[in-house]
Structure formats: C-alpha cells, structure tokens
Amino acid sequence: MKLLVSVLRRASAAAAIAVPCQKFLSRAIVNSAARYIKPTTSSSFHQSVVLAQCVKMLDQRKTFSPDFFFRQLFDEQSHTYSYLLADITTKEAVLIDPVLEQAKRDAKLIEELGFSLKYALNTHMHADHITGTGYLKQLLPSTVSVISRSSGAKADKHLADNETIAFGRHELRALSTPGHTNGCMTFVVEEQGIAFTGDTLLIRGCGRTDFQEGDSRTLYRSVHERIFTLPENYRLFPAHDYKGNLETTVAEEKRYNPRLTKDIEAFVEIMNNLNLPYPKMIDKAVPANRECGLYDIPKEN
Ligand SMILES: N[C@@H](CCC(=O)N[C@@H](CSS)C(=O)NCC(=O)O)C(=O)O
C-alpha cells in the first residue's frame, strides 16, 4: 500500500511539472515519445518522457568561450536587432545589421569596450531601415562594410556562399539563404553554436516574400536545407522581432514555427495570404541600402 501511495505521489508530481511544459510540445514529439512506452503505462509517464525531451532540448545549449564577446542591440523604431561580436583577446569586433539611427550608439559602445570594428556586415539589403554601415565607416574609419555579392548592393567586401570572415581567432561562416531577398545570408559561428538568420528565419515566423526578389519556395528550401540542418542546440538570432522575443534555437523552430513546420504547399499558401502592409521606409531604405547606407548620412565635424 505504502509503495502504491509513493508511486501515485511521484506520478502526480511529475504531471504537475510536465503539463505546462507539454502545452509547448508538438503532437509529433508526444507520439514519438509514446513509441517507447508500453500501452498500459499511465499518462503521467508520457508526460515525464515529454518533460525529459523538453529539458534535453534546453540543457544541450552551448555556452560561449571565455574569449568570445556577444551583445544583442535593439532599434525600437524598426524592431531591428544588431549584434556586436568580438575577440576579447585581440579586440577585433564585427557588427551585424547595424541601423543608421543607432550608429553613434554602436560606435560609442565599441570605443568604450576598447574594441576595433573590423567588419560591419549586413545579412541582406534591408527594406525597412537604412543600414548603419556607411555611417559607421565614417565614425570608425577602419571599418570594412560587407554584404553578399548576390544582394546587388555596394560594399567594401562581397561574400559568396560558405565564405568566412575572421575577427581575432573567431570566424563566422556566411550561408546563402535566399527567399526573403536574393542576397540573404545566415551567419554562423560554429564554435559558439550560434547563427544570425537575418530576415530568413524569425522567431516562430519568417521574412515576408512579397517584394524585392521574395520567393516563398526558395525561402522554405533555405530554412529547411541550410538552417534546420544545423545542430538542434544552435541558438538562432534574427534581424527582427515584433513581439519581444530575443532568441530561439534550431530545435524550437523545427517543432514550433507555425509556418515552417508545414509542408511546402501549405507554407506557400500562408505566405500568399499574409497581407502585410509594405514597410513604411521601403522607398527610401532600398535605394539607400543599395549604396551601403551612404545616403543622406549626417556629416561629422
Ligand atoms: N511594419 C514594419 C515592417 C514589418 C515587416 O514587414 N517586416 C518584415 C521584415 S523587415 S522588411 C517581415 O518580413 N515581416 C514578416 C512578418 O511576418 O511580419 C515597417 O513598416 O517597417
């Protein structure tokens, strides 16, 4: 009897933790977990397996190397994330997707931290804000601007698929992930288990495909072939979030992305019916970004 009471107590405790967690888990995971459980086993054991999957997904995340610097920065106007990465030993830094209006903030931070900005990179030619790369070159003259060759935009350095960029002993690899625009790239820092997905993959969403060279089938393939094939524990950092999220993982997006978990035809249908208004800045941002953001930038004295 004592044994029975103890078993029931454990089962209900497991259920108390597992039920909220299960809300976030897809039917597919529950089903695959169920394959390993005898049909007679109680549902609390199902929930325990689900909980174990959930914990495993989180505890396999990598931690950054001690000499790797990472800072996520935000522009409230365009909901854009920029990312400052650096080698703490050599002080060489790169800045991903800077925003014109935040260039002074970013330059000040880089100087305060004692870094030297080697590269200012864009994941793609943005349509909703003017890039800060042009202005940063003026504020921090050693900066080299970078974008993909297939973007069609001007920059000091053009990247091809799989090319790497080094800063100190660290490097990022540029993966071509077209679909939102032709020139979209995802930047991966393999040693740290992180990737910067630009507008290709957003948290529980993705970039729209209804202007520039947008193509939903291409975007679907980019995500499934280049991002979802990265290790599941990789942390993903998008160029935007409109709901207050900061980051995600390959594992999470493969399970919970409401668009990209669908088959390609259903995805195309979703993308054809987003009916989003055009970005307010598009007519100014695209021509400016084609010139690396060197367009109406403030003149330094
Ligand atoms: N309202 C904003 C633009 C919002 C928008 O269209 N975001 C783009 C990325 S920036 S081009 C997008 O792809 N969104 C996908 C989505 O599902 O929201 C503005 O006026 O700037």
pLDDT in tens, 14-72: 444 443 444 444 444 444 444 444 444 556 777 787 677 777 777 677 789 999 999 99
Tell me the CA–centroid distance for residue 278 and ligand 1, in Å: 8
Instruction: Name the nearest CA neighbour of 156 among 165, 172, 167, 144.
Output: 144
Q: Which atom of ligand 1 is nearest to the CA of 282?
A: 21
User: Does residue 199's CB lie within 6 angstroms of at least one atom of ligand 1?
Assistant: yes
pLDDT in tens, 128-142: 999 999 999 999 999
Tell me the CA–centroid distance for residue 160 and ligand 1, in Å: 26
Phi, then psi, of 73 in degrees rounded to 5: -120, 155
Q: Which atom of ligand 1 is nearest to the CA of 276?
A: 6
Tell me the CA–centroid distance for residue 159 and ligand 1, in Å: 25
Instruction: Give the pLDDT confidence score for residue 35 in this predicted structure.
Output: 41
Tell me the CA–centroid distance for residue 5 and ligand 1, in Å: 55
Instruction: Give the pLDDT confidence score for residue 52 in this predicted structure.
Output: 75
User: Does residue 252's CB lie within 6 angstroms of at least one atom of ligand 1?
Assistant: no
Instruction: Calculate the alpha carbon distances from 146 to 117, 130, 155, 184, 249 in Å.
Output: 12, 15, 5, 12, 26
Local structure of 145: helix, strand or coil: strand
Q: What is the mean pLDDT of the chain?
A: 87
User: Does residue 214's CB lie within 6 angstroms of at least one atom of ligand 1?
Assistant: no
User: Is the distance from CB of 18 to CB of 48 less than 8 angstroms?
Assistant: yes
User: Does residue 238's CB lie within 6 angstroms of at least one atom of ligand 1?
Assistant: no
User: Does residue 124's CB lie within 6 angstroms of at least one atom of ligand 1?
Assistant: no
Label residue 273 by pLDDT band (50, 70, 90).
very high
Label residue 294 by pLDDT band (50, 70, 90).
confident
Instruction: Calculate the alpha carbon distances from 106 to 40, 125, 140, 144, 145 in Å.
Output: 59, 20, 10, 15, 15
Q: What is the mean pLDDT of residues 86-104?
A: 98
Tell me how far apart the terminal alpha carbons of the chain are, to the nearest angstrom: 84
Q: How far is CA 136 from the centre of its chain?
A: 23
Tell me the CA–centroid distance for residue 124 and ligand 1, in Å: 14
Q: Which atom of ligand 1 is nearest to the CA of 80?
A: 10
pLDDT in tens, 210-262: 999 999 999 999 999 999 999 999 999 999 999 999 999 999 999 999 999 99
CA separation for the pair 55, 76 (Å, rounded): 33
Torsion of CA 280, 281, 282, 283, to 10 degrees: 110
CA separation for the pair 162, 256 (Å, rounded): 28
The ipTM of this complex is 0.99
Q: What is the mean pLDDT of residues 84-105?
A: 98
Instruction: Give the pLDDT confidence score for residue 58 in this predicted structure.
Output: 72
Compute the residue count for the chain: 301
Token look-up 């689900």 returns 50
* b/e burial code for range 21-59 (CB count within 10 A of at least 16 → b): ebeebeeebeeebbeeeeeeeeebbbbbbbbebbeebee
DSSP 8-state assignment for residue 53: H
Label residue 13 by pLDDT band (50, 70, 90).
very low
Q: Using CA positions, which residue lies closest to atom 4 of ligand 1?
A: 279
> What own/partner pairs with CB < 8 Å and gap ≥ 24 does 1-7 have?
none
CA separation for the pair 44, 266 (Å, rounded): 34
Q: Which atom of ligand 1 is nearest to the CA of 240?
A: 9
Kindly state the greatest CA–CA separation across the chain. Answer: 84
Res. 270: pLDDT tops 80: yes
From 99, 199, 212, the mutation candidate for ligand 1 (largest count of ligand atoms within 8 A of CB) is: 199
Instruction: Give the pLDDT confidence score for residue 296 in this predicted structure.
Output: 63
Label residue 299 by pLDDT band (50, 70, 90).
low
Q: What is the pTM of this model?
A: 0.84
Percent of the chain surpassing pLDDT 90: 76
Q: Using CA positions, which residue lies closest to atom 6 of ligand 1?
A: 279
Instruction: Give the pLDDT confidence score for residue 298 in this predicted structure.
Output: 60
CA separation for the pair 193, 6 (Å, rounded): 42
